[in-house]
Structure 1
Amino acid sequence: MNERLAKIAEVLDQDLNLAEAALLIAMEEYPGLDIDSYLRKLDELAAGVQQRLPAQVGLEETLLTLNQFLFVEQGFSGDTDNYDDPRNNFLNEVLDRKRGIPITLSIIYMEVGRRLGIPLKGVSFPGHFLVKFSTREGEVVLDPFSGGNLMSKEDLVEMLEETYGGTTDNGHAPLERLLTAAGTREILVRMLRNLKGTYLRREQYDKALTVIDRILLIQPDQPDEVRDRGCIYERLECFRAALENFQSYLALRPSSGDAPDVHRRIAELKQIVACLN
């Protein structure tokens, strides 16, 4: 699986198969996963929408039919009851259970849309992944987590305020910049970071380490992940590995704001490792 994911990670971003890469990530948890069968499920969902469309149809009607089919007929919905369930981060589980979090539901929405010829793009919005498409009048933002609802500017500002706990005029990026289309690697890394957070909150540190390895395979230039891996190794009392990761982090980001704290931890770890020799 590592080799297959590594090969996919080498492909140019625009040529990356988002669904296949997401399913390869899920194989870590589900070793016998039949990726092709889940790709066929996406094909079947798209075929279900296509069957309900008239011969001549515009983008708006196609999206309305897509929403009706996925979220009403098929019953896909946001998992508001068990949001932090690790299964919500795995595309196979979301396709099976029809419950997910914003990013996995958005991946399904985009992948079904792509099969229908709809140019949907992911938006790595703070705190809540979204989907958008462009029209002559401007960009339209949709929320698959809430049934494909259209998001107004007021909705987006309110979402930002909920994420940041108050007003949004405190140095955050302008709304337009926050709606920039996310590349495939960015989407995969955000999904993996969600999963990492879930594992850390559950104190499943071995699984969190595996997720970090996946992140660095897909997007190697991520110093924060190297630092976080050091923190996990330190917690697991793998002191040599923790020391190596903290040193690597400082080599990548010598002037980081947390550099003094990392230097202190390195000094402490050197003493511990010396005693182990």
Structure 2
Amino acid sequence: MRFSYLEHIAQEILPTIEIIWEVSRAFHSDSDQYVADYYQSIRHLAEDLDELDGVEKLQGLTEQFFFNLSFSDAPEPIVGSQRILLDRVISYRTGLPMSLALLLQEAAAYAGLQLELVDFPGYPLLRFDYQQQSYFVDPINGDLLEGYQVQERFEDLTENVVDFGWDMFEAADQKTVLVRYLTELKHAFIHDRAFANALTTVHMLLTIHPDDPYEIRDRGYVLEELDCQQAAVDDYLYFVEQCPDDPSAQLLRLQLETWAAPQHILH
């Protein structure tokens, strides 16, 4: 499988949102219908905010996004792909924080606001810089957080194991955003038991990180679920060789030994 739109993300040739629209198209033939509807909605939203500026405009944007457009956080503890793929998030108006952040970021761009996605522990935040101050938007509900609130949240999430530093809150690069997004999508497809789609997602991730042993291990698992045992063996062997000290390597060794043992047929 080849995904040309993922091959040069280190150079950030294409906008991140355009790449993620392509990801949706890879799974749904009707994706463009929902994308077009979304752009029509955010054009109207931008027109409504035209007279506002700065933080006031940002607050108006989040109010429109979460109340007028009715976007909300996914209610399930473990979500399926419909809460991640942007076309389905648009359709259901419900999604994971990463997906909501990407949609809100695009809505902001249409309103003339630049929001940067920050790879925050737990789930990403959106940063807005205005008049030498940074504000952070929670993509779950649109709450506007100031610096001290972000620091408190960071320390709670990391339990003070990691020292806080503002250099951690620079805008995430395109590769970081796409890997996080596709990893969430991969796990969702596996949860859905949509293994053919999970395999496609793993190949997308391997386009970004060729020869990554953990993605190859996950491909082996998906191939095993698709009854492609020999291909799964090759991937598991690669992982065990590359990551012999990983806790899952010992379990895979035992599994590979079981598969290699002669099968006795009882009559």
Q: TM-score, normalised by structure 2?
A: 0.80
Change (3 A) 1:62 1:83: farther
Give distance in 1, aligned partners of 2:122 and 2:197. Answer: 23
The match for 2:48 is 52
Give distance in 1, aligned partners of 2:167 and 2:236. Answer: 32
- Residues 243 and 270 in structure 1, CA contact (< 8 A), matched pair in contact too: no
The match for 2:56 is 61
Letter in 1 for 2:61: L
Cα RMSD of the aligned pairs, angstroms, is 3.2
- Residues 102 and 145 in structure 1, CA contact (< 8 A), matched pair in contact too: yes
**Which residue, 207, 210, 215 being the options, matches 2:205?**
215
Give distance in 2, aligned partners of 1:107 and 1:252. Answer: 34
Give distance in 2, aligned partners of 1:235 and 1:41. Answer: 36
Q: TM-score, normalised by structure 1?
A: 0.78
The match for 2:67 is 72
**Which residue, 1, 5, 8 being the options, matches 1:8?**
5
Change (3 A) 1:249 1:122: same
**Is structure 2 residue 183 aligned with structure 1 residue 193?**
yes
The match for 1:41 is 37
- Residues 89 and 95 in structure 2, CA contact (< 8 A), matched pair in contact too: yes
Equivalent residue pairs, number: 262
Change (3 A) 1:39 1:9: same
Q: Secondary structure at the match of 1:125?
A: coil
Instruction: State the identity as a percent.
Output: 22
Letter in 2 for 1:20: E
Q: Secondary structure at the match of 1:118?
A: coil
Q: Which structure 2 residue ranges, 5 or more long, are not aligned? A: none
Give distance in 2, aligned partners of 1:24 and 1:181. Answer: 22
Deviations 1:170-191 (A, max 9, x none): 3x36353543422223222212
- Residues 239 and 249 in structure 2, CA contact (< 8 A), matched pair in contact too: no
Letter in 2 for 1:21: I
**Is structure 2 residue 110 aligned with structure 1 residue 120?**
no
Give distance in 1, aligned partners of 2:50 and 2:18. Answer: 30
Give distance in 2, aligned partners of 1:59 and 1:194. Answer: 32
Change (3 A) 1:96 1:242: same
Shift of 1:149: 0.8
Letter in 2 for 1:24: E
Give distance in 2, aligned partners of 1:26 and 1:139. Answer: 32
**Which residue, 229, 233, 236 being the options, matches 2:219?**
229
